[in-house]
Amino acid sequence: MTSPFVRRRRLAAELRTLREESGMTSDELSRLLCRSRMKISRLENAYARPDLAVVMKILDVLGVTGDRWHEIVGLARDASEPGWWDAYGDAMGARQRMYADVESDARTIREYNQFTIPGLLQTPEFIRFMIERARAEGEITFVDERVIEARLRRQAHLLEASAPHYEVVLDEVVIRRPTAPAQVVLGQLRSLLQTALRNPRVTVRILPLAADFTGRLLPQSAFSLYTFPDPNDPSMAIVDTVNTDIVHIEHQEVMRYTQRYEHLWQAALSSAASIGLLTDAADDLEKRIGPSL
């Protein structure tokens, strides 16, 4: 399905451009619509699902007609469509709900992580352990089993015939540094290997500790890059931070992350060498602790 989140971002940019081209301020538009300025601001910044009736009133006030009117209304309809993730509400976590939405219509997903196994590749045991760590930091709003169920549903999307091509560059420190109980890590490494070997749409490459990054800048956070089938939907970079995810659709910002990713990809081991490193890491860990049950 078309990603409502992506269409909300595109709709917001279109409405803001139309208003600015008309020479009208947000305050002036809100007075003509008898709506609060906050309502207009939230719509122009994609903070909420759009009200189709409000969008049509805005177009009428701005004098938008013909094909342009139909195009914007179509965007608003797509942006307001519910997805399977909406049925979970906050039980799956707001951040995961956003990723599920974006992934639903992605043509390609490229990801870099220097801290942990990405959510699209995590085992239920690893997910459960990460939930325990989140709970230890403070109060949480999501529901454990619903988080796991939703995460597995996102992963199943990678196995569908219409799935996006998924690439991930993992820093070797993710494989070497223990971040969960040894048996959980071993199961996670074996699962990662099986996914990479069995799914032609998934490519896993490891950035070795000895990679030469002289003259290049390493990213300061984990991030993901997305492209979409509709050429009018802008490519997107989402940066993962401790408290939130920062979404970029501005071409210049997305290209900065794209360039960082390409540098990482060039410095990473080949797919075959990465599989070899993962296999050796899993075998070494199994020798130390015994096979996972």
In angstroms, rounded to a whole number, what is the distance separating the alpha carbons of residues 228 and 95? 20
| Burial tier of 107 (Cβ tally within 10 Å: 0-12, 13-18, 19+) | middle
Alpha helices in 177-293 (DSSP H): 182-198, 251-267, 271-289
Domain 84-289 CATH class label: alpha beta
Query: What is the side-by-side order of every strand in the sheet holding 222-227?
Result: 202-207, 165-171, 108-113, 222-227, 236-240, 245-248
Domain 4-80 has CATH 1.10.260.40: yes
| Helix (H) or strand (E) run with residue 50 in it | none
Predicted local confidence at residue 291, as pLDDT:
66
Per-residue tokens: 102: 């974006």
Sign of the C-alpha dihedral, residues 74, 79, 81, 84?
A: positive
Residue 293's pLDDT is what?
Answer: 54
Residue pLDDT tens, the chain, 293 long = 789 999 999 999 999 999 999 999 999 998 988 888 888 899 999 988 899 999 999 999 999 999 999 999 999 999 999 999 999 988 999 999 999 999 999 999 999 999 999 999 999 999 999 999 988 888 788 899 999 999 999 999 887 878 899 999 999 999 999 899 999 999 999 999 999 999 999 999 999 999 988 888 889 999 999 999 999 999 999 999 988 999 999 999 999 999 999 999 999 999 999 999 999 999 999 999 876 55
The answer to whether 269 touches 278, Cβ cutoff 8 Å, is: no
Domain ranges of the chain: 4-80, 84-289
Query: What is the secondary structure of 74-124 as a DSSP string?
Result: HHHHHHH---GGGGGGGGG-HHHHHHHHHHTT-SEEEEEESSS--GGG--H
The pTM for the full model equals: 0.92
Q: At what angle do helices 66-80 and 52-62 cross, to 10 degrees?
A: 160
Contacts of 152 by beta carbon, 8 Å cutoff, 6+ apart: 124
Q: What is the DSSP string of 135-168?
A: HHHS---S-HHHHHHHHHHHHHHTTSTTPPEEEE
